[in-house]
């Protein structure tokens, strides 16, 4: 896969629009808390994917897992995500925030910003698998991918910080349409990962 395909896959998998209702509920619809949650969630997303980019391959080597095998596993992980979005099913279940009486308090809001919003709703198994599997082996390529991740983290922050306004502007129908489009992109990226992994594992298929 090219770096462009990886970037497109990350954009589709991150899907900050789909997290807007969770952010608003976690912040108790308080604009200042929404911005705080957006900042912490984006930071969690950034650090998780940067660690995956630079040290994910070392973990694979430690456990004796080949990159083609991980690409196949990553494709198998991503494909159901894309199909679920196409069918209108959310990637992650909304956490039951209403059961916590402290959901509107600052400490609880910070905790929710990191888990589950930052990880695994934004930086979930799909995004982590994609970054680890497709991180270029050369340092320059990883620097470029890191820059892409940083830009996406900034976009995530801007979207989440404007959660209340965006939710009102887009409406439920447009959010669903965006989610289905992201589903098509995710399914396409997953298929390409599977094809690449199978070709590398079984060279006879590339003939």
Could you state, in chain order, the average pLDDT of each consecutive group of 10 residues for the chain (207 residues)? 82 84 82 92 96 91 85 83 76 44 58 83 85 90 95 95 87 76 80 86 70
**What's the per-residue H, E or C state across 126-155?**
HHHHHHHHHCCCCHHHHHHHHHHHHHHHHH
**If we measure between CA atoms, which residue out of 123, 124, 167, 185 comes closest to residue 149?**
123
Please write the tens of the pLDDT for every residue from 70-125: 888 888 887 887 788 788 765 544 444 444 444 445 677 778 888 878 887 799 87
Segments in the chain forming alpha helices (H): 3-14, 20-26, 31-62, 67-86, 106-112, 125-134, 139-161, 163-201
* Domain region containing 36: 3-206
Question: CA triplet 112, 163, 94: central angle to 5 degrees?
Answer: 45
The count of domains in the chain is: 1
Q: Is the backbone peptide bond immediately before 116 cis, with ω within 30 degrees of 0?
A: yes
Contact present, 13 and 120 (Cβ < 8 Å): no
Q: Which of 187, 37, 9, 41 is nearest to 122 (CA)?
A: 41
Q: What is the pTM of this model?
A: 0.75
């Amino acid at each position: 896969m090219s770096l462009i395909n990886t970037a497109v896959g990350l954009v589709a998998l991150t899907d900050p629009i789909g997290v807007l209702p969770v952010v608003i509920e976690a912040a108790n619809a308080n604009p200042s808390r929404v911005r705080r949650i957006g900042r912490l969630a984006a930071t969690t997303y950034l650090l998780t994917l940067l660690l995956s980019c630079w040290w994910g391959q070392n973990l694979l080597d430690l456990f004796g897992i080949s990159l083609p095998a991980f690409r196949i596993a990553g494709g198998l992980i991503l494909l159901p995500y894309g199909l679920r979005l196409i069918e209108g099913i959310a990637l992650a279940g909304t956490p039951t925030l209403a059961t916590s009486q402290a959901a509107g308090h600052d400490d609880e809001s910070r905790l929710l910003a990191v888990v589950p919003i930052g990880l695994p709703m934004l930086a979930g198994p799909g995004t982590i698998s994609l970054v680890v599997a497709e991180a270029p082996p050369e340092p320059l390529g990883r620097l470029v991918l890191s820059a892409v991740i940083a830009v996406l983290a900034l976009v995530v922050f801007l979207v989440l910080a404007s959660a209340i306004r965006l939710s009102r502007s887009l409406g439920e129908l447009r959010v669903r349409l965006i989610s289905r489009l992201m589903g098509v992109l995710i399914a396409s990226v997953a298929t390409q990962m599977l094809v690449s992994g199978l070709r590398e594992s079984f060279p006879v298929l590339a003939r």
